[in-house]
Amino acid sequence: MLKSIDIKGLAVVDQLNLELMQGMTVLTGETGAGKSILLTAMKLCLGERADANLLRPGVKKADISLDFDISQSATSQAWLTANELDEENDCLIRRTISADGRSRAYINGQAVNLKTLQKLSQHLISIHGQHAHLDLLLPAQQCALLDSALSNPTPLSDCQQHYQHWKTLQDELLTLTGGNTDNDSEKQLLSYQINELEQTELVLVDYQQLIQQHNLASNMSKILELAEGQANALYENDNHSIHGLLSSSAHELNTLSELSPEFSSIAEQINEAVIQVQEASRELRSTIDLQDNDPSQLDTFDRQLSQMHQIARKLQVEPQQLADKYQQLKTRLQLLENRHERLETLQLEIEQAEHSYAASAEQLHQERLSSASELSEQISATLKTLGLPDGQLEIRVSHNNKQKPQKNGLDDVSLLVSTNPGMPASPINKVASGGELSRISLAIQVVSSQSNTTPTLVFDEVDAGIGGGVAETVGSCLRGIAAGRQILCVTHLPQVASQGHQHLFVSKNKTSEQTKTQIETLNDKARINEVARMLGGIDISAKTLAHAEEMLNKAI
């Protein structure tokens, strides 16, 4: 579960630290108070792309942290362990966003990319947005809804694997043929390019090493000049060398140490220095003698570099990539030369892959049919509690085995609904009004949440467009789902707010200089006042307060 949220410098939030608890937490407040900023912060921490415009004016960086207790989430623990990001029973996600638009993400103190963050978030939080009813109109979302409720997800994963195998073979076929039946011209070009590389022997040359050799040859005269000067200064100048001066000093110090033992250690150090200078001088002379100051070498290196750059431009690669390009050209030529033999076996493999895919797609179809029937009944039953007593939802699954393999099978999944008795079920986008669509969406979310194993569920104003007894039912449903898990619910309905185990009030503090959003946890008395405000508006009467208190007591 989510233990705390810490936000600094994000939009209307200057600094906020919010402690959360298990069960159902409701967030209420006036429209525009900033309730959505919590969801924005959570989404950013869960891998949503960042925008520098989200920063609070005047700040250089926004900093958001989500602290989770994963002691009861085996899937989260397993994922973190597998990715070497585990830290006992805690999971701390942190996201920073700079004013220049750059952002960084961390899991338990280790830097990660957004894709990693998104994969982890699937095990921690499930967010149900206020516009979920619009997603229901999309065929892909209707299929995803059914697939999320499959009692056995193996047929779906099997189908996807068979599809990927088939697609890999298809890609190879396209690569092999290049869309053509005759590849003679390409083979001629490949042979020419390979021969050119082999004749120049450039594929045997290490480009980085050649650069170093070229730099060395270019500076050889300067290198030898400096080295000879140092050899002369250290030892080889008979009249005035470092070795000669040190030897003279050593002789005097040795005499001094014989007269006074206190100077013995100093004399020993100078004697060692004499020996080291002599050894260094010999090694320097040996290294100088090994240097090759042949001007023709520089010409050779110049010619090789020029050839490498010229051929690299022709092949549209970097010079250091010539060896890899050479292997690619040879591999491609070999593939084309064996093209006819490979085409025969490839066609057989594709046929076998299509057969295997068709079998897995059929198994997936049967699994979807079974789940569709059960899910339709559950959603229809929930619709009756949400003010649609005659509502019936049907999830129809049709199988089209004539089309080419698709990643998620060969089924067309569609939602059909009937809200009036005696009327046939029709596509959801043709018969459901805006209010009915919202209730259908809410029913789907309630049903799917009951089977969702994610420890934290967030509902963002999913109760919009309902009221009265239906709102009370929704509140009770959400409170029931919160048993043994954590629910965060943003709502404008007192019937829903009164069902919360914890109540957070969001308000906006405006001054002449700035605007700040603040969130406070309400005590029992403050909750009564807030629910009364939601019931009665500005002027709150004693009856409204009594009604609010009754609603809260009824929820306990």
CA 220 to chain centre: 51
**What is the pLDDT confidence band of residue 28, given thresholds at 50, 70 and 90?**
very high
- Give mean pLDDT, residues 37-44: 86
**In 3D, which of 377, 217, 421, 401 has the Cα closest to residue 305?**
217
pTM reported for the whole predicted model: 0.62
Share of the chain above pLDDT 90, in %: 31
**What is the pLDDT confidence band of residue 164, given thresholds at 50, 70 and 90?**
very high
Residue 12 lies in a domain: yes
- Count the domains in the chain: 1
- Give mean pLDDT, residues 408-431: 85
pLDDT of residue 504: 94
pLDDT of residue 16: 86
Residue 475 lies in a domain: yes
**In 3D, which of 38, 2, 27 has the Cα closest to residue 497?**
27
Residue 410 reports pLDDT greater than 90: yes
Q: How far is it, in rounded angstroms, from Cα 9 to Cα 65? A: 12
Residue 365 lies in a domain: no
Q: Return the ∠ at Cα 497 (arms to 68 and 20), rounded to 5°.
A: 15
363 touches 155 (CB < 8 A):
yes
**Single-letter amino acid, residue 1:** M
DSSP assigned state of 226: H
DSSP assigned state of 387: T
**What are the distances in angstroms from CA 510 to CA 13, 514, 517, 518?**
12, 6, 9, 11
- Give mean pLDDT, residues 508-512: 75
Q: How far is it, in rounded angstroms, from Cα 31 to Cα 376? A: 35
Q: pLDDT tens digit string along 482-498? A: 887 899 998 989 999 99
Domain with 117 in it = 1-124+454-521
491 touches 461 (CB < 8 A):
yes
Q: pLDDT tens digit string along 65-115? A: 999 999 888 889 999 999 999 887 889 999 999 988 889 999 999 999 999
CA 377 to chain centre: 37
Token look-up 């001054």 returns 511
Residue 24 lies in a domain: yes
Q: pLDDT tens digit string along 291-313? A: 877 778 888 888 888 888 888 88
Total Cβ atoms within 10 A of residue 526:
13
**What are the distances in angstroms from CA 179 to CA 40, 171, 189, 337, 346?**
47, 11, 17, 16, 15
CA 49 to chain centre: 9
Q: At what angle do helices 322-337 and 154-177 cross, to 10 degrees?
A: 90
Half-sphere exposure of 381 (CA within 13 A, CB side): 9
Structure tokens at 544: 């409204």
Structure tokens at 493: 């309905």
Q: How far is it, in rounded angstroms, from Cα 7 to Cα 39? A: 11
Total Cβ atoms within 10 A of residue 197:
20
Q: How far is it, in rounded angstroms, from Cα 519 to Cα 508? A: 9
Q: How far is it, in rounded angstroms, from Cα 325 to Cα 312? A: 9
Q: How far is it, in rounded angstroms, from Cα 41 to Cα 383? A: 32
Q: Give 2: exposed, middle or buried? Use CB within 10 Å, 0-12, 13-18, 19+.
A: buried
Q: pLDDT tens digit string along 465-476? A: 777 788 888 888
Q: 469: domain CATH number?
A: 3.40.50.300
Residue 290 lies in a domain: no
Structure tokens at 259: 């007269």
Residue 438 lies in a domain: no
CA 118 to chain centre: 5
Q: How far is it, in rounded angstroms, from Cα 155 to Cα 358? A: 12
Structure tokens at 468: 């009265």
Lowest mean pLDDT among 13-17, 222-226, 378-382, 429-433: 429-433
Q: pLDDT tens digit string along 303-354? A: 888 888 888 888 888 888 888 888 889 888 887 777 777 788 888 999 999 9
Q: How far apart are the first and last CA of the chain?
A: 22
Residue 267 lies in a domain: no
Residue 160 lies in a domain: no
